[in-house]
Amino acid sequence: MNAIISEIEQTLRSHYPSGFGAVFIGDAQRSDITLNEFREELLKMGLELPDAFYEYYNWLMTVEFDDDDVSDQTQLGYDDSEHYTPSLSDVLSSIRDWRDIQEDQPDREWKSGFAAIVSWNSCYQLVIDTKGEVAPAGGLLYWDFKGGDKYEVVYQNFEMFLKTKLELLKQKLYFPPPSSDDAACDDFMYGETREKIEAVVRKLNCAAQKEIPFVQS
């Protein structure tokens, strides 16, 4: 197993109630397709994701955590951030949808080598730039496709994305507070806790981070 993934599992098991592990894996185990089927469909599109992505999803789809009720302790859904984990079925559907949009609207900011792996707040996409059309090949970027005017390159590669997850877990900055705690939620999204999260992301990924304005074809 990838060493970072192994440490993620160890950290979840050692420092969190078991139900948090179930929250971490999200919808990964609810896929209608296998990992091999997913990979074959992407290859038909000319897309090859990094090995770390497949190692990560292989772990997500096979790891076992007790599904304790943690609904009153934390939440992590598609409305939260790039750390929500969709199923492979949803990832594949998102990639297909964006390719269809680009075919109809060729001036949109989607690129042929993009693989959208997470969507949140109904306007953000986290993308692996498999061909290096915006970020260096294998880099991860996101954008507000409903009102943004730039890409934001955040992670040098998928392993750095995983390493960032690991560090946030270690510092107890990964999981949002329960939605019933308005003050804690505001702090997590906009306050001192958010500043700490952003500082971790910057420290680990400062060499990769940059903003790139959209350029129409």
pLDDT at 167: 98
pLDDT at 35: 97
Look at the block and give the residue holding tokens 């680009």.
Answer: 102
Residues 6+ positions from 80 with CB-CB distance below 8 Å: 120, 176
Averaged over successive runs of 10 residues, the pLDDT of the chain (217 residues) comes to 94 93 92 96 96 97 86 68 90 93 86 91 90 94 86 96 97 91 91 96 94 77
pLDDT at 42: 96
pLDDT at 140: 96
pTM for the structure as a whole: 0.93
pLDDT at 82: 79
What is d(CA 187, CA 195) in angstroms, rounded to the nearest whole number? 9
pLDDT at 79: 60
What is d(CA 179, CA 159) in angstroms, rounded to the nearest whole number? 30
pLDDT at 216: 57
Query: Could you please report the per-residue DSSP string of the chain?
Result: --HHHHHHHHHHHHHS-HHHHHHHHTTGGG-SS-HHHHHHHHHHTT----HHHHHHHHHHHH--------TTT----TTT-TT----HHHHHHHHHHHHHHHHH-TTSS--TTEEEEEEETTTEEEEEETT-SSSSTTEEEEEETTT--EEEEEESSHHHHHHHHHHHHHTT-SSPPPTT-HHHHHHHHHSHHHHHHHHHHHHHHTTT-EEEE----
pLDDT at 214: 86
What is d(CA 117, CA 73) in angstroms, rounded to the nearest whole number? 26
Which of these, 32, 81, 91, lies nearest to 56 by C-alpha position? 91
